[in-house]
Structure 1
Amino acid sequence: MKNEIDGMFLLTVFAKIEKNGTAVTNDLGAGFTLEGITVNSGFDGYEVYFDNGKVQLTLGFHNQWNTTAENETEYDEFVKMLNNIDKKY
């Protein structure tokens, strides 16, 4: 999987989803959803979560991130969704 995303990009997309999305409550608590991506923040604010139903990406302290993508196709689709939100909003 290509490392084509960084912490600043993820935080920018998170803010756009938070601003333009619809409020939701899920297993992680209060969050927002926009165009198939749901975001939540950790209880201490040091982690943010992105989820599209197939892939979950966690951005943690010092901009380190990891993902549950099972293959490159899922990951690429997820990144495409993030890029679309970034460009559109």
Structure 2
Amino acid sequence: MKNEIDVHQALAVVNKITRDGVKQDGRYLYEGLTVEPDSDGYTVVLTDGRTSLTLFFHNKYEFDYPDSTALASFMHRYWAIYSA
């Protein structure tokens, strides 16, 4: 299964979570998604605990998920935050 996202949209979701979410232990929590910035400053992980979307430098990204149900749940939350 090929997963394509617009990195600029993903960064908008990350921005909203870091702006409106609760900071806890270096992570930001908002509406079921967590943003975990990496220490290098160039990588960020967006996760719901089962599915992760890692955003790298130069508009590259990688999904990690156990099954399509987990991905669908993650994307539902992702789009709800992006659309709000």
TM-score (norm 2): 0.89
**Displaced runs of 4 or more, over 6 A:** none
Q: SS where residue 3 of structure 1 aligns?
A: coil
1:33 partner letter: L
Q: Aligned residue for 2:82?
A: 86
Tell me the alpha carbon deviations over residues 8-50 of structure 1, each in whole angstroms, 9 at most, x when there is no partner: 111000000011100111xxxx121001101021112110111
Deviation per residue, 1:44-68 (Å, 9 max, x gap): 2110111111112111111111122
Task: Give the number of the structure with larger relative contact order, counting CA–CA contacts within 8 Å between residues 6 or more apart.
Answer: 1
Q: Which runs of 5+ in 2 are unaligned?
A: none
The runs of 5 or more residues in structure 1 that have no matched partner are none
SS at match of 2:13: helix
Q: Report the secondary structure of 1:5's partner residue.
A: coil
What is the aligned-residue identity percentage? 35
CA contact (8 A) 2:3 2:63 kept: no
**Aligned partners of 2:77 and 2:2: how far apart in 1?**
15
The offset of 1:2, in angstroms, is: 4.4
- Could you say what the CA RMSD is over the residues aligned between the two structures, in angstroms? 1.3
Find the counterpart in structure 1 of residue 58 from structure 2: 62
Aligned length: 84
* AA in 2 matched with 1:79: M
